[in-house]
Amino acid sequence: ILRRSLSTTTTRNAIKNVTVIGGGLMGSGIAQVAAQTGHNVTLVEVNADILKKAESSIANSLGRVAKKLYKDDAKAVKDSDLIVEAIVEKLEIKHKLFKSLDEAAPTKTIFASNTSSLSIGEIASVTNRKDRFGGLHFFNPVPVMKLLEVVRIPETSEETYQALMAWGKAVGKTCITCKDTPGFVVNRLLVPYIAEAIRMMERGDASARDIDIAMKLGAGYPMGPIELADYVGHDTTLSISEGWHKKFPENPLFNICESQRKLVQQGKLGVKSGEGYYKYNK
Ligand code: NAI
């Protein structure tokens, strides 16, 4: 496991030292905005190639990255005020990580998960610091998207909540708060909306293009639902829907769209693979 520490200048915020676990799409963006706003950031990533990629994309925006290799988990989190987890969306893997972090991190360290579709309470359940646990749900691309959903579980202390809100503001985001409810605010509304648009297309009520034009010109949305689905990635929305469908089988809004499942099986994941419901030039 490689761990490297990124650029530093200190600020007067309560949270100064941040450890981001997972340097993929989201984690590298979270590390970047935190470093850009003067936090000491340590990025933990298990895959050396991904770490290199994250490092060079952050260095491109920051100009400078200090490199340091840590030998074990305890060292990577020993000074952390906040740990933001952005690893794979699998409960067992997040549990394993948080169990070990709970032992390695100091008492003061606040834990947060960037999960999109899992329950923060369930993730936190393996730790002994539920009062110092919350959700920090960023949006892709992190440096561009202004919103941060700050999620409170019933056990989250007022102090922890205030610290998370203040940190969100300090990294330049507009924070909203919600309970630990599936999909939080944005995905809970967006994923069923996209699914309804796909179902409309599957029934042949209107074409993809016409649905997209309708919602852009009729509802003032910057993107139509089908192009948005292609942009987000069908693997991502499908796995969110599958998780919710399994958990809440009685809710028809969480039903799986067959055409979307087929696209994923064919590797047509949307913009990132060059084809989804539309075709793209790679
Ligand atoms: P990703 O696959 O790009 O990145 C995950 C990274 O974590 C990978 O580079 C992987 O090597 C690394 N990793 C896995 N286990 C690890 C461990 N134990 N320690 C350190 N690194 C580890 O995934 P992405 O899209 O960045 O998603 C990460 C999290 O963020 C997920 O929980 C997802 O639900 C959430 N999220 C994703 C959004 C998106 O638009 N992709 C939006 C908001 C949240």
User: 71: pLDDT confidence band, cut at 50, 70 and 90?
Assistant: low
Query: Is residue 128 one of the residues assigned to a domain?
Result: yes
- Do 98 and 55 share a structural domain? yes
Q: What is the pLDDT of residue 4?
A: 62
Q: What is the pLDDT of residue 99?
A: 97
| Lowest pLDDT segment from 13-22, 117-126, 221-230 | 13-22
CA triplet 210, 213, 215: central angle to 5 degrees? 110
Domain that holds residue 147: 2-179
In the DSSP assignment, the letter for residue 256 is P
Q: What is the pLDDT of residue 59?
A: 86
Does 281 score more than 50 pLDDT? yes
What residue owns the CA closest to ligand 1's atom 40?
Answer: 140
Query: Is residue 279 one of the residues assigned to a domain?
Result: no
CB atoms near residue 247 (< 10 Å): 12
The whole-number average pLDDT for the span 230-256 is 94
Domain edge (last residue) among 179, 211, 233: 179
User: 70: pLDDT confidence band, cut at 50, 70 and 90?
Assistant: confident
Q: What is the pLDDT of residue 90?
A: 93
Q: Which of 115, 116, 122, 186 to mutate to test the pocket of ligand 1 (most atoms within 8 A of CB)?
A: 116
Query: Is residue 60 one of the residues assigned to a domain?
Result: yes
Assign residue 55 the CATH number of its domain: 3.40.50.720
- Do 104 and 191 share a structural domain? no
Strand partners, 4: 43
- Do 164 and 46 share a structural domain? yes
Query: Is residue 112 one of the residues assigned to a domain?
Result: yes
- Determine phi and psi for 111, rounding to 5 degrees: -105, 140
- Do 81 and 40 share a structural domain? yes
Task: Report d(CA 30, CA 276) in Å as an integer.
Answer: 27
Entry pTM: 0.90
Q: For 99-204, list the strands marked E by DSSP.
A: 110-113, 133-137, 147-152, 174-179
CB atoms near residue 147 (< 10 Å): 14
- Do 84 and 13 share a structural domain? yes
Query: Is residue 281 one of the residues assigned to a domain?
Result: no
Q: What is the pLDDT of residue 74?
A: 77
| Lowest pLDDT segment from 27-41, 46-60, 213-227, 253-267 | 46-60
Domain edge (last residue) among 124, 157, 179: 179
Task: Report d(CA 142, CA 119) in Å as an integer.
Answer: 21
- Do 171 and 269 share a structural domain? no
pLDDT in tens, 22-49: 999 999 999 999 999 999 999 999 999 9
The whole-number average pLDDT for the span 239-259 is 95
Q: Which of 26, 70, 185, 191 to mutate to test the pocket of ligand 1 (most atoms within 8 A of CB)?
A: 26
- Do 197 and 175 share a structural domain? no
Of 70, 82, 58, 74, residue with least CA distance to 6: 58
pLDDT in tens, 188-203: 999 999 999 999 999 9
Instruction: Report how many domains make up the chain.
Output: 2
- Do 156 and 56 share a structural domain? yes
Q: What is the pLDDT of residue 12?
A: 41
Domain edge (last residue) among 151, 179, 207: 179
Of 162, 51, 90, 95, residue with least CA distance to 42: 51
Query: Is residue 280 one of the residues assigned to a domain?
Result: no
Q: What is the pLDDT of residue 121?
A: 98
Does 6 score more than 70 pLDDT? no
CB atoms near residue 131 (< 10 Å): 16
Instruction: Please give the single-letter amino acid code of residue 62.
Output: L
Ligand 1 atom having least distance to the Cα of 96: 18
Q: What is the pLDDT of residue 2?
A: 56
Query: Is residue 278 one of the residues assigned to a domain?
Result: no
The two three-digit tokens of residue 157, written as one number = 């202390």
Residue owning tokens 């009062």 = 131
**Whether residue 25 has its Cβ less than 6 Å from ligand 1:** yes
- Do 217 and 162 share a structural domain? no
Q: What is the pLDDT of residue 58?
A: 87
User: What is the chain's mean pLDDT, rounded?
Assistant: 92
Q: What is the pLDDT of residue 230?
A: 97
What residue owns the CA closest to ligand 1's atom 29?
Answer: 86
Q: How far is the CA of 210 from the centre of ligand 1 (A)?
A: 34
Local structure of 118: helix, strand or coil? coil
Task: Report d(CA 56, CA 6) in Å as an integer.
Answer: 11
- Do 239 and 162 share a structural domain? no
- Determine phi and psi for 194, rounding to 5 degrees: -60, -45
Q: What is the pLDDT of residue 3?
A: 62
- Do 226 and 133 share a structural domain? no
Q: What is the pLDDT of residue 28?
A: 95
Model-level ipTM above the cut of 0.90? yes
- Do 149 and 78 share a structural domain? yes
Query: Is residue 114 one of the residues assigned to a domain?
Result: yes
Q: How far is the CA of 207 from the centre of ligand 1 (A)?
A: 34
Q: For the chain, list the strands marked E by DSSP.
A: 2-5, 17-21, 40-45, 82-85, 110-113, 133-137, 147-152, 174-179
Task: Report d(CA 220, CA 227) in Å as an integer.
Answer: 15
Q: Which residues are catalytic?
A: 116, 137, 149, 187
Assign residue 203 the CATH number of its domain: 1.10.1040.10
Q: How far is the CA of 16 from the centre of ligand 1 (A)?
A: 23
What residue owns the CA closest to ligand 1's atom 11?
Answer: 47
Of 67, 72, 76, 87, residue with least CA distance to 21: 87
Q: How far is the CA of 45 from the centre of ligand 1 (A)?
A: 10
CA triplet 222, 226, 232: central angle to 5 degrees? 80
Q: How far is the CA of 170 from the centre of ligand 1 (A)?
A: 23
**Whether residue 50 has its Cβ less than 6 Å from ligand 1:** yes
pLDDT in tens, 143-175: 999 999 999 999 999 999 999 999 999 999 999
Percent of the chain with pLDDT over 70: 93
User: 7: pLDDT confidence band, cut at 50, 70 and 90?
Assistant: very low
